[in-house]
Amino acid sequence: MRYLCEFLDIDYPILQGGMGNISNAPLTAAVSEAGGLGTIGAGTMEPQELEAIIIDTKKRTQKPIAVNVPIKVTPYLKEVLNLIIKHEVPVVSLSAGNPVPIIPTLKEHGIKVITVTASVKQAVKAEQAGADIIVAEGYEAAGINSNLELTTLTLIPQIIRAVDVPVVAAGGVGDGKSLAALLTLGASGVQMGTRLIATEEAPFHQAYKQALLNAKDNDTVVVGRSVGQVRRVMKTPYAEELLEKEKAGVPPEEFAEMTSEKYHKIGAIEGKLGQGFINGGQVSGLVSDVPTVAQLFASMIEDAKQRISQLHNIFQNEL
């Protein structure tokens, strides 16, 4: 944990998930200002839009930030990488594709590289290619997901055993208890996405935040299994439509269009939950308030310290 914070120059071992296409300067900067690593999700953004967000974010904070690049998703891979180099973004997170051909170029420019993986095999390959940090993501996580559907609890210790670089846990993280649990598994830190939606600085539609506040344990659903496009979203009228389309044998191309970032924005930014989807991880059922990012992080760290201290005392007394 200490090495991760020192390496990334952050105060807390908490990374923001990319949240492609709805990432923005206010939330990214707030995460970095609060002591974590704020991350802009490039998604399918056009280069000029991404550049504007990078510039705006760097005006809001002097602390380190990252850009997440979903390799197979972005149609502007070369342009995005050039922008990252041009604006001297210190950290890049690579996901949704093979990072091996990209890592050397980033490392040549002194950029720290995080890779998001969903299996031991992927993690080992990423480390061999030069990744500095592995984010191991269980299928509890929101958004585009692995069809392997490995859980965070089982995935993290296996990847930690297989690689030597720091491993950050993602999927199901939203409070101090989950932070403490994953640190005890051996993770060096955590990555969060869904929980950060319900913060004051997150400029998303109130309907999105309210859906998280209202969520119960089973209010997320996995769509796209039938067409090989696995994604975890909140249960909404639009999500029900997606499931009905799958039952009817929707062609993969039509499903891809219906789950494109266009419809993500309609749900998350415009709040039209019958016309667009909103991503949500299984941690949604734990969301009960809308604090500032700084308040969230402070409470998580304090709660994690208390939980770990309690465990220490329990074992001391039993021994």
Angle (CA) 286 185 282, round 5°: 25
The answer on pLDDT for 51 being more than 90 is yes
Tens digits of residue pLDDT in 62-109 = 999 999 999 988 999 999 999 999 999 999 999 989 999 999 999 999
What mean pLDDT do residues 251-258 have? 95
CA–CA gap between residue 106 and residue 85 (Å, rounded): 8
Percent share of the chain, pLDDT over 70: 99
Strand partners of residue 190: 14, 169
The answer on pLDDT for 21 being more than 90 is no
Q: What does the domain layout of the chain look like in residue ranges?
A: 2-203, 206-283
Question: Tokens representing 136?
Answer: 């191991």
Do the Cβ atoms of 169 and 156 come closer than 8 Å?
A: yes
The continuous run of DSSP H or E covering 240 comes out as helix 237-247
- Helix, strand, coil in percent for the chain, rounding step 5: 45, 15, 40
User: In the prediction, which pLDDT does 318 show?
Assistant: 63
Tens digits of residue pLDDT in 269-309 = 999 999 999 999 999 999 999 999 999 999 999 999 998 88
User: In the prediction, which pLDDT does 20 show?
Assistant: 79
User: In the prediction, which pLDDT does 143 show?
Assistant: 87
Edge-first strand order for the sheet with 133-137 is 14-16, 189-192, 167-170, 133-137, 112-117, 91-95, 65-70, 38-41
Neighbour count for residue 317 (Cβ, 10 Å) = 7
Fold type of domain 2-203? TIM Barrel (3.20.20)
Residue whose tokens read 């760097």: 58
